[in-house]
Amino acid sequence: MPVAGFELRLAADPAPPEAAPPEAAPAFRREASPRERILHVFRAPVGGLFRHVVDVARLQAEAGHAVGLFCDASTGGARADAMLAEMAPHLSLGVTRLPMRRNPHPSDLAALAALSGIVRRLKPTVLHGHGSKGGLFARLAPAGGGEGPVRAYTPHGGSFNYRPGTALHRLYMLAEGLLTHRTDVFLFESDYIAGRYRAYVGPTDRLVRVVHNGIATAEFAPIVAGPDPFDLVYIGELREAKGVPVLFEALARLRREQGRRLTLLVVGSGPHEAALRDLAAALGLARDVRFEPPQPIRAALSRATVMVVPSLAESLPYVILEAAAAAQPLVSTDVGGIPEIFGPAAPTLVPPRDVAALGQAILRKVDQDPAQRASEAAALSAFVRGRFSMDRMAEDGLAGYAAARLRC
C-alpha cells in the first residue's frame, strides 16, 4: 500500500513464532534452534550483495524462520522486481521498498523513520544490515521498549573500499567506529574486510565472525561452451571502480604493440556505460567489444573462452565464485578478498591498474594449451567447492545471531 511515496508490501501482522507449524529442517541445520524473526536491511537490490541477501533469506525461511526484507525501490529494475516477487510468498515479515540514495542524504531520515515503524510493528529478533547504508539503518533504527533485536552487520565492502587517506574514507571510518557501539555481531564476508576494519576502525569488544559468501552445489556444473566464442567476457557493473577502462587500455595496447586483436563481450549496466562505450570507440575497439545488458551468468560465460575481472576494489565477489565453481578460465586483479577465492592460485593474480600486466596475463591465458587451461580451472573449482558452501554460510550466520544474543 502506498504511504507518503513509499511502496510497502508487508505481511499483515504475522503470527508469533510459537504459533507456526514445525517444518522439516534443511540440510544446513545440524540441530534444532529457536525460530528467529529476521529483517534484512540493505540498499540496492543489485549485484553480489543482493544475491547474498536473497540466498540467506531463502535458506532461513526454508529452515522455519520468519524473514523480511527492507530495501531501495529506485534501483534493480525488472530483474530485481521479478526476484523479489518470487521471494515474497516465502517472506512472512514481508518486503518493504522505498527510495534510498547511495550517499548520505536528508531522505535517509524518512527511510529510517519508516524502518523504525516496521521494527516496532513486527518485533524482529534480528536486524541484519548489509552494506554501508543497510548497516547504518539496521543499527540506528529505534526498536521501542523491551528486549531489542540482535543487530548484525555485514559490510560487503561498502565504506571499507574507499581509498585510505581520503577525506571520505576518514569520514566513513569515523562513522563505522561510532556505529560499533550499536552492533552486536559483525558477520564479515571476507578476511580482507575484517582486516580493513581492524586496520582503520580499530579493535572491538563486539563479536566478530567471518562468514564467507557461499554458492550452491548445482553451480559447480561445468559450462558448456557455445559456438564461435568471444576471447574474453567481462560481467559486472559498468563503473570506473570495476576497472573496465584498464581492460580496454590493455586490449588496445596488445593490438597496438603485438598486433593481437582480441574480442570482448561486456555484460552489465551501470552509471558509466555511455563513457565506456565512448572510450572503446576512441581506442579503436568498437568492432571488437560488444556491450550487452545483464543476463544469467552461466549464459554469458558459455559465450567466451576466458573471463576477466579487472576490478580496482572488491570484497568477496560472487561473479568470481560462480565462474570459478563452473571451471571457467579466469584472469583477475589482486584486490579485496579475491586471493581468498583463488587460494593456491593467488600468485597468478594481477596488480590493479597495471595495463601491461593485465594485457600479458590475458594473452597467456588465451594462448595457453587448452588442456592445461582446463586443468587449472578444474583445480580452482575444487578449491572453491571445499571452502565456499551456501549451506555453511546460512548455518554460520544463524550461529552468529545466537552467539551474539548470549553475550547481550
Average pLDDT on 149-164 reads 91
Q: CA-to-CA distance for 124 and 345, rounded, in angstroms?
A: 42
3-class DSSP state for residue 395?
helix
Burial zone of 87 (CB within 10 Å; 0-12 exposed, 13-18 middle, 19+ buried): middle
What integer pLDDT is reported at residue 143 of this predicted model? 84
Scanning the structure block, which residue is given the C-alpha cell 522486481? 81
Rounded to 5°, angle at Cα 138 from 121 and 76: 95
- The CA distance from 328 to 335, in Å, is 19
Least confident of 201-205, 309-313, 404-408: 404-408
Query: How many CB atoms neighbour CB 111 within 10 A?
Result: 24
- Give the whole-angstrom CA distance, residue 18 versus residue 53: 25
What's the pTM? 0.85
Question: What was the pLDDT predicted at 114?
Answer: 96
Residue 231 confidence (pLDDT)? 98
The model's pLDDT over 99-117, given as tens digits with 9 standing for 90+, comes to 999 888 899 999 999 999 9
H helices present in 9-146, as ranges:
47-62, 77-87, 108-122, 131-140
Helical segments of 63-166, H only? 77-87, 108-122, 131-140
Scanning the structure block, which residue is given the C-alpha cell 554458492? 215
| Alpha helix (H) residue ranges in 123-215 | 131-140, 167-179, 191-200
- What's the pLDDT at 23? 37
Looking at residue 31, its pLDDT comes to 42
CA 44 to chain centre: 10
Q: Is the pLDDT of residue 229 over 70?
A: yes
Q: What is the pLDDT of residue 125?
A: 97
**CA separation, residue 114 to residues 99, 137, 195, 220 (Å):** 11, 10, 33, 41
Confidence of residue 145 (pLDDT cuts 50, 70, 90): low
> What b/e string do you get for 35-57 counting C-beta neighbours within 10 Å, with b at 16 or more?
bbbbbbbbbbbbbbbbbbbbbbb
pLDDT digits (tens, 9 = 90+) for 343-374: 999 999 999 999 999 999 999 999 999 999 99
pLDDT in tens, 64-95: 999 999 999 999 888 899 999 999 999 999 99
Nearest to 56 by CA among 40, 76, 36: 40
Question: DSSP 3-state assignment of 13?
Answer: coil
pLDDT of residue 103: 85
What is the arithmetic mean of pLDDT over 245-274? 96
Angle of CA points 188, 49, 329, to nearest 5°: 95
In angstroms, the CA 234 to CA 191 distance is: 25
Mean pLDDT over residues 378-403, rounded?
A: 96
Distance in angstroms (rounded) separating the CA atoms of residues 358 and 364: 10
User: Across the chain, what does the average pLDDT equal?
Assistant: 90
| Residue among 48, 267, 54, 57 nearest 158 (CA) | 48
Asked if 128 and 155 touch (Cβ cutoff 8 Å), the reply is no
Overall average pLDDT of the 133-161 stretch? 90
The phi-psi region of residue 96 (left if phi > 0; otherwise alpha if psi is between -120 and 50; otherwise beta) is beta
Per-residue pLDDT, averaged over 194-215, amounts to: 96
Q: Which domains does the chain carry?
A: 2-26+35-214+389-407 (3.40.50.2000), 218-387 (3.40.50.2000)
* Residue 367 to residue 144: CA distance in whole angstroms: 62
Q: CA 345 to CA 237: how far, in whole Å? A: 25
Neighbours of 62 (CB within 10 A): 18
Burial class (CB in 10 A: 0-12, 13-18, 19+), 109: exposed
Measure Cα distances from 384 to 214, 252, 272, 304, 387 in Å. 9, 33, 32, 21, 5
